[in-house]
Structure 1
C-alpha cells in the first residue's frame, strides 16, 4: 500500500487483507481531523478485509478523538469491514467505556499496550480534557448549588405538578437522553413543558435552527403551563439532580441529543471537553435568538478558553439576573 501523500501521525501496515493503523501518542483535535480526512482513502485499499486500530502508543485522547473513532466505526460499518482495537491502555479504555464505544469497537484479547517507564505506576485517573473537569473547587460549587436548587425544587414541586397535570395529561417529569462530557450519554430531567407525545410529533414541527440542533420559537407541542415554565426557567429545576450526581455542572455547554451529535463534524466534538451546564454562555447571551449551530459552537469554545472559577461565578450571577428579569417581564 502506498504511504499517505501528506504528513500524518498515523503509521500504516497492511498484511493478508488486514490494515493496521498505528494511532499517534495524542489523539486530540488536530490528529482526529487528520484521521477523519485520511480514513476514506485508506479503507478503499484493494482486497481489504479488516481494519485494526493500534492504540499501543496512544496515551491521550480527548472528545475530538472520540468523535474521530465514532466516524471510523460508521465508515467501517458502511463498507462492511470488521474494525477492532489493539493495545488499549487504561486511559483510552476508560474513555471508550465511558462513551459506550467499547461495545462498538471490540478490543482484541491478549494485546498489551506499550509498557510505560519501568517503576512508574499506570495512570488510573479519568481522561484529561479541560481543567474545569478536574477542578475540585468547581465540583464543590456544583454540589452546593445543586443542594440549594433541589431545596427550591422540593418546595415548588407540588404546585408545579398540579399545574402540569391540570393543563395536560401525562407525566410530571420529562426525561431525555443527552450527551455530556466526552460524548458520554446520560438521562436529563425536566418538568414536562410539552404534550406527552412530543417526541413522536417532533418530525411534524419545522426546525428554525441552522445546523445540528433543533429550535422552533412557536413550537405547537408546548403547553400553556409549559410556556410559563420555560419563560421562567422553572422547567429546568429538576436538572439540579443531574448536577448533584455529576452528569452536569451549574455552568457549562449546552447538552446535545444523540441525533444532533450524529450530525457533528470531528472539530465540533471539542464542545464535549467540558461538562454540559444548567446554564452557560449560550443562555446568558440570548439563547432564544441563537439560530446557527456555528454560533453555539463559538460560545462553547469561548467558555472553554475563558474558563476560570471567577468566570463561572460571574455566569451564575448573570444567569440569576436573566431568570429574574424574565419573571419580572411576565408579571
Structure 2
C-alpha cells in the first residue's frame, strides 16, 4: 500500500490547518497590488530577455553546470511553488553545504565568505540579477513584487505559529528585510519581525515606497552575499 512521504503529509495537514485559522491579508485581494505586480513583472521579464544571453554565457564560462538553480519554496499559506534563479554557486553546492559554517541565528543559513559562491555569482547576488527569473513567478501570481522571503521546506518543518504568520501575504522579490539590512540582519526572529511589520504597515503606496527603496539599495551597492 502506498504511503505519502512524511514531508508531504506534514505540508498538506499544516497548510490546511493554517488556511482555516488565518485571516486573509488585505494585500492578497488588492487589485492595485496585482496590477502593480503584472506591470512590474512584464518590465522585469523584458530586462531578463535583454540580459539572459550575457548572464548565461558568464555563468557557463565561470563555472560548469546549469544556468539556473531551481528549488521548491513555500508561498501564501504554505502553498508550494518552484522558483528559478540564475545559478550563483558551484553546481554541487548542496552537497558541500555541510562544509560551510552558518553565521546566522535561527532558521536561515548565511555565510559572508561562502566558498561555494562563484565570482560571477557574487556579482549577480550583489546586483540582485540572479533573481530576474522570478519575475515569472510574479506574473503568474505565485509571488508579488513586495512581500516576505519565500522559505524552503526545511525551514517550514520547524515553524511555530508566529513564523507561519509571515506567510499571510504572498512572498516577494523584495520587502522589509531586503531594504532594511539584508546581509546585516542575521537573526531569523528579526526577519520575522520585519515581515510582520510589513503586514501592519501595508497599503498600496507603501509597496511603491519599498520598490523605490530597493532600487536605492541595489544601486548603492548594498547587496546580498
- Structure holding more helix per residue: 2
Alignment check: 8 A CA contact 2:15 2:78 kept? no
For 1:252, which of 134, 147, 169 is the aligned residue? 147
For 2:172 and 2:158, the matched residues in 1 are separated by: 21
Superposed, 1:1-331 pairs within 5 Å as 100-101=12-13, 128-326=23-221
Which structure has more RCO (C-alpha within 8 Å, separation ≥ 6)?
A: 2
Match of 2:3 in 1: none
Q: Following TM superposition, by how much is the alpha carbon of 1:134 offset from its aligned partner in structure 2, in angstroms?
A: 0.8
User: Could you tell me how far 1:265 is from its partner in structure 2?
Assistant: 1.2
Tell me how large the CA RMSD over aligned residues is.
2.2
Distance of 1:282 and 1:213 partners within structure 2: 13
Per the alignment, residue 96 of structure 1 pairs with none
Contact 2:73 2:152 in 1 (8 A): yes
Deviation digits for residues 194-249 of structure 1, max 9, x if unmatched?
01111122122111110011111111110010001111111111110111111110
The structure 1 segments of at least 4 consecutive aligned residues displaced by more than 2 Å after TM superposition are 99-105
Q: Could you say which structure has the larger radius of gyration? A: 1
Any stretches of 5+ residues in structure 1 without a counterpart?
Answer: 1-69, 75-98, 106-126
Partner Cα separation in structure 2 for residue 242 and residue 151 of structure 1: 14
* Larger strand proportion of the pair: 1
For 1:124, the equivalent position in structure 2 comes to none
Shift of 1:128: 4.9
Go from structure 1 to structure 2 and tell me whether the alpha carbon gap of 1:323 and 1:102 turns closer, same or farther (over 3 Å shift): closer
In the TM superposition, residue 263 of structure 1 has moved relative to its aligned partner by: 1.5
CA distance in 1, matches of 2:34, 2:96: 37
Gap change, CA 1:213 and 1:102, over 3 Å in 2 = closer
The aligned counterpart of 1:17 is none
CA distance in 2, matches of 1:262, 1:103: 11
Tell me, in whole angstroms, the C-alpha distance in 2 between the residues paired with 1:157 and 1:181. Answer: 29
- Aligned residue for 1:176, secondary structure, equals strand
What is the CA–CA distance in structure 1 between the aligned matches of 2:158 and 2:108, rounded to whole Å? 9
Cα deviations across residues 92-131 of structure 1 (Å, max 9, x unaligned)?
A: xxxxxxx6339999xxxxxxxxxxxxxxxxxxxxx85200
Return the alpha-carbon distance in structure 2 between the equivalents of residues 276 and 162 of structure 1: 29
